[in-house]
Amino acid sequence: MKNVFILFLMVSFVVSGCVSYDHYYKLDEQYLARRQLETRRYDTDDEETLLIASAQVLQDLGFTLDESETKLGLITANKDREAGSTAGKVGIILLAVLAGTQPVYDVSQKIYVTLVSTKNHDNKSHNIRVEFARVIWNNMNQARIEKIQDEEIYKDFFDKLSQSVFLTANNI
Amino acid sequence: MKKILSSLIIIIALTGCASTHNDVLGTSQSQVQMRNYQSRSFDTNDKSLVLRAVISTMQDLGFIIERADEKLGTISGTSFSHIHASKLTVSIRAINDKQIVVRANGQVGLKALDNPIPYQNFFNALGQSLFLEAHEVE
C-alpha cells in the first residue's frame, strides 16, 4: 500500500512538471459578458473629475489606494476585512465538534479592486471598468483566491459612483 | 529490483521537464528566441492607444491590473482564472515613427511561462482589442 502511494506521488510529480499552459491568455466565451458587467458609461469628457469621483467612492467603501496612473486612467486599491459571519463560524465549530473533526472556517480576506477609465470614440463620454477580486484565508492559514462576479456588487458600485460623480461635480 | 525501479522513478521525477526550462534560461540564442515569441509589433505610433488596449485586453483575459506606468510603458497584472495564479508584465516601446513593439512576459505559479502559445493567445487577443477599439465595435 505504501509503495503504491509513493508511486502515485512520483507520477503526480512527473505529470505536474509537464502541465500544459496552451489555454493561458486565451479569450474565453464569457469575456464580452464580463466586460459588460464590469463596465459603465459616464457622459462626461472630464476624465480627471471622473477619476477623482472614483477615488472618493473607493474611500467611501473603505479601500486604501495602492497605485494610480492617471495618464492611463488607472486606480488600484485594497482593503482587509474579516471573512464570514460569527454565527456561521459558531455553526461550523459546533458541527465539527459533533462530527469529531477539525473545524475549518474563513477568518480574513483581502479585497482588491482595479478601476480603469477609457475615453470613448465620441470624445464626449468615458467608460469606467471595475474589477473586484479577493483572497480569503481560513483558520488553517490556507488561502483561496476568487474573482468577484456578483452582478449586484457591480450594480451597487456603479450606482455609488454615479452618486459620487454628482457629489464631486457639486463640490460636496 | 524494487530499488532500481524506485531510483528510476525518482530520476524521471527530478528531471521532469527541467531540460526545456534550462534551455530557455541558458544561452543567448534562447534569449533571442524568447524575445521573439514574447514580442509583437503594431503599426501605430500612438503609445497611449496601445497601452490602453493592453489594459483592456488584460482585463478581458481576467487579469486584475496591479500597476501601470505611462512613461515606462509598462503594465503588470495578476490573473486568478486558472488553478495557478498567473502574473503578466507587458511593456511597450516605439521602434520607429510608425511601429510600437509590445513585449509580454508571464509566470504561472512559481514557473516562468516559456511556452510561445500563451503569448500567441495574448497577442491575438490584443490584436482583436485594437481592432475593436479602432472600429468602435463592442
How high is the mean pLDDT of chain B? 80
Query: Count of domains in chain A?
Result: 1
Q: What is the pLDDT of residues A60-81, one digit of tens each?
A: 999 999 999 999 999 999 999 9
Look up residue B19 and give its three cell numbers: 531540460
A104 near A92, Cβ under 8 Å? yes
Please report residues of B whose CB lies closer than 8 A to that of A116. 55-56, 59, 65
User: What pLDDT, on the 0 to 100 scale, is given for residue B137?
Assistant: 30
Query: How far is B72 from B113, CA to CA, in rounded Å?
Result: 23
- A20 falls within a domain: no
B84 phi/psi in degrees, rounded to 5: -100, 135
Q: How many residues does chain A have?
A: 172
A57: pLDDT strictly greater than 50:
yes
Residue where the block lists cell 500567441: B120
Helix (H) or strand (E) holding B91: strand B86-94
Query: How far is A165 from B10, CA to CA, in rounded Å?
Result: 62
A74-82 vs A64-69, strand pairing mode: antiparallel
- A65 falls within a domain: yes
Helix (H) or strand (E) holding B88: strand B86-94
- A74 falls within a domain: yes
| Predicted complex ipTM | 0.75
Contact map slice: A 90-149 vs B, CB within 8 A: 112, 114, 116, 118, 121, 129, 131, 133, 145-147
Which CATH number covers residue A132?
3.30.530
A7: pLDDT strictly greater than 60:
no
User: What pLDDT, on the 0 to 100 scale, is given for residue B29?
Assistant: 44
Expressed in percent and rounded to 5, the helix, strand and coil fractions of chain A are: 45, 30, 25
- A18 falls within a domain: no
User: What pLDDT, on the 0 to 100 scale, is given for residue A168?
Assistant: 72
- A113 falls within a domain: yes
Q: What is the pLDDT of residues A93-132, one digit of tens each?
A: 888 888 888 888 999 999 999 999 999 888 889 999 999 9
Verify whether the Cβ–Cβ distance B80 to A129 is below 8 Å: no
Residue where the block lists cell 464580463: A34
DSSP label at A30?
T
Give domain limits for chain B: 37-134
Q: Is the CATH number of domain B37-134 3.30.530.50? A: yes
A80 DSSP β-pair partners: A110
- A145 falls within a domain: yes
Q: What is the pLDDT of residues B107-136, one digit of tens each?
A: 998 888 888 999 999 999 999 888 744 333
Query: How far is B78 from B111, CA to CA, in rounded Å?
Result: 14
Give how far Cα A150 sits from Cα of A33, A37, A79, A109, A147, Å. 13, 9, 18, 17, 9
B18 at the A interface (CB within 8 A)? yes
